[in-house]
Structure 1
Amino acid sequence: MGKPVILAVDDDISVLEAVVQDLRRQYGAGYRILRAGSGQAALDTCAQLVERGDSVALFLSDQRMPGMTGVELLEKAQLVFPEAKRALLTAYADTEAAIRAINSAKIHYYLTKPWDPPEERLYPVLDDLLGSWREGYKPPFEGLRVIGPRWSLKDHQVRDFLSRNQIPYEWLDPERSDEAQQLLVKYKLDEHKLPAVLFADGTSLVQPLQTELASKIGLHVTAERDFYDVVIVGAGLAGLAAAVYATSEGLRALLIEPEAPGGQAGSSSRIENYLGFPTGVSGAELAKRAFIQASRFGTEFLAQTATGIRSANQYHFVTLADGKEVSCRAALLAVGVNYRRLEIPGLDRFTGAGIYYGAAMTEAISCRDEEVFIVGGANSAGQAAMYFSKYARKVTMLVRGESLEKSMSKYLIDQIAGTSNIVVETRSHVVEACGEERLAAIRVSTADGESTRPASALFIFIGAAPNTGWLPEGVMRDPNGFILCGRDLMIEGRMPKSWKEDRQPYLLETSIPGVFAAGDVRHGSIKRAASAVGEGSISVQFMHQYLARF
């Protein structure tokens, strides 16, 4: 797809050359200037442009041409490029015919010859025509496309993965888009086997696995080496901070993350209390900057899932989802937390089909002019509510507690109170999700009783469940699954029998010597972006102390 086209048409070669030169001098930077010596040649050029997917912004045609007049050409050109502007070049003797053509052929303007000086007699007219054309022009999308129904978990997962990795894409719902139907035919895709991801090189993936999609968009899914000084599991803010400090201090670091940089914070639409960003910063932007910073220092990023970790002979081995292992001297567990599940009837059935965990930025535009419900009263829920308020007709926050004061930062509470289309309902919770193929309604319990409300989208931001189910028993955790570190490992004032070292564990060291934990996954951590960055940063100092023993 090139620049939009301005097509000049005249059978007089000298006149055509003069027109083209004037057009190129004024519009060559933003448009491709093409020429044709007859009406039929112009139509042939139009056919080629259609085949290539190009757009025509303006036809500028002479009236007196043998075989096909300018008016006849512009009438036919309108059928090919109906949005293009059409201007006629005439002699004084043809003025009356040109005026009639404005009505009969829907020509936008006519110009009389000669048009010198063009700065006074040509460019002002064409500037107006091209300006009007640009107002309604939508450039054809040339990047990655996702075709999938809105009420599909797999479609949501693909779009969420691309969004969180900041990969630009265009989403087309086959139930609403004629273009989606045309692309399904063009790529010979089965409408019942979606989502499909279409790439600019003409290839496609149908219902892709996450690693398959990651590899296609350029993420590494295979480690470059077998051994590293440090392996960091989890690319949330804690993991990213550890990667920056580890590699900047000369350690070979591998950062493993199956989803996208930023973790839970990466899905926050705006963080306004993070030091150094007085106007706020989105979690995605903060994560992107940290990822670029870590990459510049030499961190290797791996789009994989860690499924286990074992230790032998003072080395640690991290097992990946593909069955391979990478080894290291020190490891950092920064896997963060997930939103807790809402245990209500209908939840599993409509997850991805109207019920979502987080995902505010991915689904917000889909909820334009709708009423959405948000479950939760902490900062993540408040940030989502503010973001949704830009698109949704109404945002209703369902909060179990009596107020937001105990769970949400004051700046967010004030913003929510000042946003007219956000309603906060305290002492309320969802008891059931209802619908057929997708969410259609929710039953809500309040202090006044239960009621059923129409609902097309429910977003859940409740609590924090640590992502530690894959860890071996040797990594000690509290009853809720959060990792114990440092002094928290002590039982009745003594270290557990499994601790064989002749020293006390470092502040962020787990029950396995040389394996550390940082961020939200650690027992007793403060669930804030700045705290995660701080813990990830200082964890590297403890790693240095551990590695110095060898």
Structure 2
Amino acid sequence: MTEAAPQRPVILAVDDDTAVLSAVRGDLRSKYGRNYRLLTASGGAEAVTTLERLKLRGDPVAVVISDQRMPQVTGVEVLSKALELFPEVRTVLLTAYADTEVAIGAINDLHLDYYILKPWDPPEERLFPIIDDLLEDWHAHNQPGHAMTRVVGSRWSARTHEIRDFLQRNQIPMQWFDVDTSEEGRLLVEAAGDDGLPLVITPDGTALHTPDVAALAAALGHRTHADAEAFDLAIVGAGPAGLAAAVYGASEGLRTVCVEASVAGGQAGQSSRIENYLGFPTGISGSDLARRAVTQARRFNVEVLAPTSVLNLDLGGPYPRMELTDGSTLSCGAVILACGVSYRSLDVPGSAELEGRGVFYGASLSERDTVTGEDIVVVGGANSAGQAAVYFSEYARTVTILCRAPSLGAKMSAYLVDQIAVRPNIAVRCGATIRSVSGTEGLETVSVADSSSGSAVDIAASALFVFIGASPHTDWLPPQIARDERGFILTGPALGSRRFKTADGDRDPFLYETGVAGVFAVGDVRSGSMKRVASAVGEGSVAVQFVHQVLRS
């Protein structure tokens, strides 16, 4: 039997001015007419009717572009309806200069993706790049059913959580079936053979029973081996700092490899929405930022290897040499360490036993479905905790934030504090610490103590997301890489009187250079760094300028 051809996604343009509507239709058709269905509506009411009809037909809607000033139904109302019917749709508001405040309001209220000032001539500069970007985002989150990776497992399984988290952070389209409640999940297990859960079925039909992340990545075609053995620049870690270094290094002619032990994006990749990163007025999720950065790096021919771990950094030869977990080695002229940090363990009774079964470190956005309608707890007082609390409050019945500090404003950005304050299902308990966690199959209770009075109370919760400080990934480094008392890497002036001998005489370490010439450290793993995405990107890009000086010497 011949399968039906997949439906082309819809781009809907709305404007009550016939001349403007004709212009936007013509521009969009010239660029996107072959791969998308271009529909138009000559007013807000007609647009809403069109959207409702598309919903009933099950047609995919990728982008809605609407003028703001229309009688009866405004552009903001059209886009609001579009998001109600198609939560993944990308939205664009066409505005005059005088409507800028309306557009900013829509960014805050609707998470509007973009607004375009009329006129948009030339479209090659002021329209197409925006639509291209939005379509790429939409396709990253919307794949046809046959391209889905299916996961069958229990919500209380740590391995199931690990697999779902890996797929979500890599933006691999996934369907998850809870074996305890899903008939479809049980049928898939019967068809694949009951050889252990979780069961992962790849888009080509391969069934993997209890795979680890490395085996899953290989089955999905992730690149984990380098094509060459020698590079100008090797970067350890693909968080914002490492990816920035990769893009700047490769774009300036350096043969570059970037090795990531887990998932590109680092801790920032777990953020549901970063709203204070320059150039993204509507905010951007950490996984979207990572995807864009990886795409940009690969465009400049960076070899991004993930998941691949570095076992050892050999500094005994004329050039640094990295030994990887697969037994291969990479030699390089310079190294940038951007290996990041992980959240510290909770270390209270019950936490180790329930890790991955209700106790999670980091945002674990893949758990959105499991916390819907339930009571959850977020531990921490910095931005990562605030972003997670805001995100999960859209799904959970209640979110309780536990913070040791006397107020959230001590470490959290004001915009997040303000958002938390207006969400009725978020409760904040400052001056609070966790005594223990408990549960049988999964997490059930969190015991919380007030640090001033010492009195304790039990909170019922099915999930606990922990953000309580960071431990650097530096245990694998040789002793020549100097570190502070907490394990963070010392660089530049922090090395004190350290000097390097060169052909041109002795020199001081460069700003981000470690105790070994030609080895740099940037981002969260560096002692004294500012734990923000923007500063990590800045450090990664600046370090490349020093790499050039090392390679020339």
Pairwise TM-score range, normalised by the shorter structure = 0.7 to 0.9
In 2, are the aligned partners of 1:360 and 1:388 still within 8 Å (CA)?
no
Matched, 1:307 2:328: no
**Structure 1 residue 29, shift from structure 2 partner:** 8.7
The alignment yields a C-alpha RMSD, in angstroms, of 2.5
Give the TM-score of the pair, scaled to structure 1: 0.74
Q: Alpha-carbon deviations, 1:338-369, whole Å to 9, x = none?
A: 11111101111000000000134111221000
In 2, are the aligned partners of 1:141 and 1:170 still within 8 Å (CA)?
no
DSSP-derived class of the 1:352 partner:
coil
Amino acid of the residue matched to residue 495 of structure 1?
A: R
**Structure 1 residue 129, shift from structure 2 partner:** 11
1:478 pairs with one of 467, 480, 484: 484
Q: Alpha-carbon deviations, 1:67-90, whole Å to 9, x = none?
A: xxxxxxxxxxxxxxxxxxxxxxxx
For residues 394 and 436 of structure 2, what CA distance do their matches in structure 1 show?
27
**Structure 1 residue 401, shift from structure 2 partner:** 0.8
2:495 pairs with one of 489, 493, 503: 489
1:270 pairs with one of 270, 273, 276: 273
1:403 pairs with one of 396, 399, 407: 407
For residues 201 and 374 of structure 1, what CA distance do their matches in structure 2 show?
38
For residues 454 and 372 of structure 1, what CA distance do their matches in structure 2 show?
8
Aligned to 1:42: none
For residues 132 and 378 of structure 1, what CA distance do their matches in structure 2 show?
43
Aligned to 1:145: 150
DSSP-derived class of the 1:171 partner:
strand
**Structure 1 residue 189, shift from structure 2 partner:** 2.6
**Structure 1 residue 140, shift from structure 2 partner:** 8.9
In 1, are the aligned partners of 2:498 and 2:509 still within 8 Å (CA)?
no
For residues 202 and 266 of structure 1, what CA distance do their matches in structure 2 show?
28
2:297 pairs with one of 290, 294, 297: 294
1:252 pairs with one of 248, 252, 255: 255
Matched, 1:464 2:467: no
Taking the TM superposition and a 5 Å limit, the aligned residue runs for 1:35-114 are none
Amino acid of the residue matched to residue 539 of structure 2?
A: E
Matched, 1:369 2:348: no
**Gaps in structure 1 of 5+ consecutive residues:** 6-27, 31-127
**Structure 1 residue 4, shift from structure 2 partner:** 9.3
DSSP-derived class of the 1:331 partner:
strand
Matched, 1:430 2:434: yes
**Structure 1 residue 204, shift from structure 2 partner:** 1.2
DSSP-derived class of the 2:407 partner:
coil
Residue identity over aligned pairs, in percent, reads 48
Q: Quick one: structure 1 residues 334 and 140, their matched pair in 2 at CA, closer, same or farther if it must change by over 3 Å? A: closer
For residues 480 and 260 of structure 1, what CA distance do their matches in structure 2 show?
24
In 1, are the aligned partners of 2:335 and 2:520 still within 8 Å (CA)?
yes
Q: Quick one: structure 1 residues 4 and 466, their matched pair in 2 at CA, closer, same or farther if it must change by over 3 Å? A: same
Q: How many residues align?
A: 424
Q: Alpha-carbon deviations, 1:103-146, whole Å to 9, x = none?
A: xxxxxxxxxxxxxxxxxxxxxxxxx999857599xx99322101
Q: Alpha-carbon deviations, 1:494-524, whole Å to 9, x = none?
A: 228xx65521111111111111000010011
Q: Quick one: structure 1 residues 436 and 29, their matched pair in 2 at CA, closer, same or farther if it must change by over 3 Å? A: closer
For residues 531 and 54 of structure 2, what CA distance do their matches in structure 1 show?
53
In 2, are the aligned partners of 1:376 and 1:397 still within 8 Å (CA)?
yes
For residues 372 and 4 of structure 2, what CA distance do their matches in structure 1 show?
32
Aligned to 2:343: 339
For residues 328 and 521 of structure 2, what CA distance do their matches in structure 1 show?
22
Q: Alpha-carbon deviations, 1:449-482, whole Å to 9, x = none?
A: 1112221110001111111111111110000000
Aligned to 2:173: 168
**Structure 1 residue 315, shift from structure 2 partner:** 0.5
Matched, 1:282 2:288: no
For residues 133 and 332 of structure 1, what CA distance do their matches in structure 2 show?
52
**Structure 1 residue 2, shift from structure 2 partner:** 3.6
Q: Alpha-carbon deviations, 1:396-448, whole Å to 9, x = none?
A: 00001100111000010001001111111001111101112221111110145
Taking the TM superposition and a 5 Å limit, the aligned residue runs for 1:182-331 are 182-190=187-195, 193-303=196-306, 304-331=308-335
Amino acid of the residue matched to residue 384 of structure 1?
A: A
Matched, 1:453 2:459: yes
DSSP-derived class of the 1:156 partner:
helix
Aligned to 1:112: none
**Structure 1 residue 237, shift from structure 2 partner:** 0.2
For residues 207 and 324 of structure 1, what CA distance do their matches in structure 2 show?
26
For residues 546 and 469 of structure 1, what CA distance do their matches in structure 2 show?
26
For residues 53 and 218 of structure 2, what CA distance do their matches in structure 1 show?
45
For residues 360 and 313 of structure 1, what CA distance do their matches in structure 2 show?
41
DSSP-derived class of the 2:245 partner:
helix
Aligned to 1:353: 357
Aligned to 1:155: 160
DSSP-derived class of the 2:434 partner:
strand
For residues 484 and 369 of structure 1, what CA distance do their matches in structure 2 show?
46
Amino acid of the residue matched to residue 172 of structure 2?
A: I
Q: Alpha-carbon deviations, 1:172-207, whole Å to 9, x = none?
A: 1110100010011111133xx211110222211111
Q: Alpha-carbon deviations, 1:353-391, whole Å to 9, x = none?
A: 000001341112210000100000100000000000100
Amino acid of the residue matched to residue 402 of structure 1?
A: P
DSSP-derived class of the 2:520 partner:
strand
For residues 485 and 132 of structure 1, what CA distance do their matches in structure 2 show?
60
For residues 355 and 129 of structure 1, what CA distance do their matches in structure 2 show?
43
**Gaps in structure 2 of 5+ consecutive residues:** 10-51, 60-84, 86-142
Give the TM-score of the pair, scaled to structure 2: 0.73
Deviation larger for 467-476 or 207-216: 207-216
Q: Quick one: structure 1 residues 129 and 298, their matched pair in 2 at CA, closer, same or farther if it must change by over 3 Å? A: closer
Q: Quick one: structure 1 residues 546 and 133, their matched pair in 2 at CA, closer, same or farther if it must change by over 3 Å? A: closer
Aligned to 2:421: 417
